[in-house]
Amino acid sequence: MASQYLEKKMPHRIKAARLLAKTLNTLDLSHIRGTLIEDAIVDGDKESDRAFGVSGVLDFLEKTINQIGGLHRPTIAEVARLEYAPRKYFVGVSIEIDDVPFIFMAVHTNKEGLIKVIYVHHSDPSPSDAELSGDRPGFNLAKYESDKECLWAIRKATVKKLSTDSASRPHFVAVIHESQDPERILLVLDELTRKFDGSTCELLFASRYPVSNTNGLGEVLEYKSPADVAIADMGSVGFPTLGVMLNGECIRPGYRSWNPDAVASDLRRMGISQLVEFKEQVLSVN
């Protein structure tokens, strides 16, 4: 007997989000072609997240999938929603790279279900706050696991190469925007340095106003701040972010979740002990 209930129709935004997720999971732009209105746009938290018209949006998405593919890191694009006010949500796609929420791409459609806006969220609200659905169209689990194993093998080899002696300790570098409260990350850094005996840390602030000066000839001299250098080394695009250095090299770039237990677990898995095996004992003789 036929069901007396009609199957609930999938909302346009969910359909559009599934196509975007499939595009990002397969790195194939063909899934999203034909789904954009003529004056579709890309907007976002960053100035670089801007594109106008069908060709502009497709160019932006092509650049995005090329960047994801070029990372050679385990990536998941999943249909999700992100709360921006009590009981109000953006529907879109959560992109997780190397087990860390990276960006959230909200999808807005017209009445016909065509995409009119893709908004790229890096923070406020944070991509890590997205409510995931488990729907990952086009996702290749075998490739994901393979990429993950390769990445961990590289990290373990790097740690082995850099750990030339037992005194090699992790150095934690956190970067936040100048508008953000540093209290939380300071507590995280404090806990991490306590977890890893002999480790060090620093907190850097990224400013929206780049520092520059001029020389005697009037030529502009650009000053690259330590925060910019750290972000470049970590491969991160948003704030906050936390990187781990060993003997001057970044071994675990771009944490976005600041969970000290997760960071500690990662470093132990890479072969870094939480204790220094040999210490100099200082004796005070009266």
CATH class name, domain 167-269: alpha beta
Q: Name the architecture of domain 12-142.
A: Roll (3.10)
Q: Using CA atoms, how far apart are residues 47 and 171, in angstroms rounded to an integer? A: 31
31 token code pair: 């899934």
Q: Where does the chain hold its CATH 3.10.450.50 domain(s)? A: 12-142
Q: Which segments of the chain does DSSP mark as H helices, in order?
A: 12-26, 53-71, 141-162, 183-195, 226-234, 260-269
Mean pLDDT estimate for the chain: 84
User: Would the pLDDT of 283 be above 70?
Assistant: no
Q: What pLDDT is stored for residue 258 in this prediction?
A: 77
Give the residue among 283, 205, 213 at the shortest CA–CA distance from 241. Answer: 205
For residue 279, what pLDDT is reported?
A: 53
pLDDT for 3 equals 43
Distance CA 237, CA 38 (A): 29
Question: Over the stretch 49-65, which tens digit does the pLDDT of each residue have?
Answer: 899 999 999 999 999 99
Cite the residue boundaries of each domain of the chain with CATH code 3.40.30.10.
167-269
DSSP 20-60: HHHHHHHT-GGGTTT-EEEEEEEEESSTT--EEHHHHHHHH
